[in-house]
Homo-oligomer: A and B are copies of this chain.
Amino acid sequence: MSDIAKLIIGAGERLADIRYASGLSTPDDFLYLESEAGKFVICSSLEFARAKVECKPGVTVLNTADFADSANLGVIAEFAQNQQITKFLVPADFPLKLADDLRMRQISVEPLTGAFFAGREFKTRDEVNQIIRAQRAAERGMRRAWEILGEASVNRKKILVWHGETLSSEILRTEIDLELLRAGTVSGNTICAGGVQGSQPHNLGSGPLAADAPIVIDIFPRDMATGYWGDLTRTVVKGKAGATVKKAYDAVKAARDLAQSLLKPGAIPAEVTQKATAIMEAAGFSTGRDDAGIDYGFFHSLGHGVGLDIHELPRLSVKNHQPLQGGEVVTVEPGLYYAAWGGIRLENLVSVIPGGIELLTQIGDLLEID
């Protein structure tokens, strides 16, 4: 019998690995252990009754109160002793203090790098369907944003006005998030970044939105029932886009569409990223860093896996030389960012299937809204 077991500690609401393994979503930390003897959730009285009902089939639920010492260290040590486990494999971000304390008790703790459960990277049809549900919510949110921008008027100062009020990033975000909630999802930090704010990829956007300038709208809702995420970005202009913005938009769209056409089992993420980058460079959009240390051009990765985490494996980046295998669900989201005028990002969600991809995004593309 093996003396090695897997061990995770975390809250099901936040730690995707523990939710994936146990099926349990909780606000507080609990333990998950997987040994030759089976799969175990060990939680406090606060979660015990519910855990017995909600855990995946095959998971045995234990109560910390049934251990001599109900603190995590005591529980794990007693479990190890009972099952003659001498070594725990844990995720790379396992809490240091607990690991140090276990090691003090002569129990080996080895952090693993990369995927803790290899299966998480490759989605079942059920998982893809849950992601699609979240993606449909994101699309509802995007349609609502477009609708509001369509209804908005433009005042003499070129600022958007909606329902008699200045239309701000905050108002647009709230309207999107209300729509996400109505669709049974919880919003991540929806981005509505107009003008130069859009040149910072993670700027949420704030203040009045202006006409004739790009607005980056990035919507990533999490399905309340299942915990799976969707992810969608479009960039639109209320009014008329200038020549540079139009050109940048076309370059980003070409890069995205090229990348989508290249993704399939066997494709190398680094190569796809390079080709997508090259098409934007060929259109005249270079990447670099200015004198103030601010990056410009295309300086984030091409995409990332989506599942129980909004950012998970695999990464589509120049650093990833592992061929795709099929079953991955990834975003494809090239972007261009320049402090002079703002940013463009276009993001689709795809599932890698035999021979290519299944596009999980239904909503189309749109640059200008009248």
Interface residues of A (CB under 8 A from B): 13-14, 26-28, 45-50, 63, 65-66, 90, 92-100, 109, 111, 113, 174, 177-178, 181-182, 184, 186-189, 199-203, 289, 293-295, 299-300, 310-311, 339
Contact = CB atoms under 8 A, between A and B. Distances in A.
A50 B111 CA distance: 33
Contact of A95 (B13, B65, B93, B339): B93
Nearest to A220: B27
Contacts of A188: 27
Given A45-B299, A113-B97, A202 B92 contact: no
A165 to B, nearest CB: 14
Given A95-B96, A97-B92, A202-B27, A13 B189 contact: yes
- Copies held by the complex: 2
B93 A46 contact: no
A54 B90 CA distance: 35
Nearest to A10: B93
A50 B294 CA distance: 10
A294 B48 contact: yes
A133 to B, nearest CB: 15
Contacts of A294: 48-49
Given A28-B202, A96-B96, 19 more contacts: A13-B189, A14-B14, A28-B311, A45-B300, A46-B201, A46-B299, A46-B300, A49-B294, A50-B200, A92-B97, A92-B98, A93-B96, A94-B97, A95-B95, A95-B96, A95-B111, A174-B181, A174-B182, A181-B181
A109 B200 CA distance: 34
Contacts of A181: 174, 177-178, 181
A95 B181 CA distance: 33
Contacts of A97: 92-94, 111, 113
Contacts of A48: 293-295
Contact of A178 (B14, B178, B201): B178
Most buried by B among A28, A66, A299: A299
Contact of A202 (B46, B95, B99, B109): B46
B189 A27 contact: yes
Contacts of A199: 49
Contacts of A26: 202
27 contacts: A26-B202, A27-B189, A27-B202, A27-B311, A45-B295, A46-B201, A48-B295, A49-B199, A49-B294, A49-B339, A50-B202, A63-B293, A65-B289, A92-B95, A92-B96, A92-B97, A95-B95, A95-B96, A96-B96, A96-B109, A96-B111, A100-B111, A174-B181, A174-B184, A177-B181, A178-B178, A178-B182
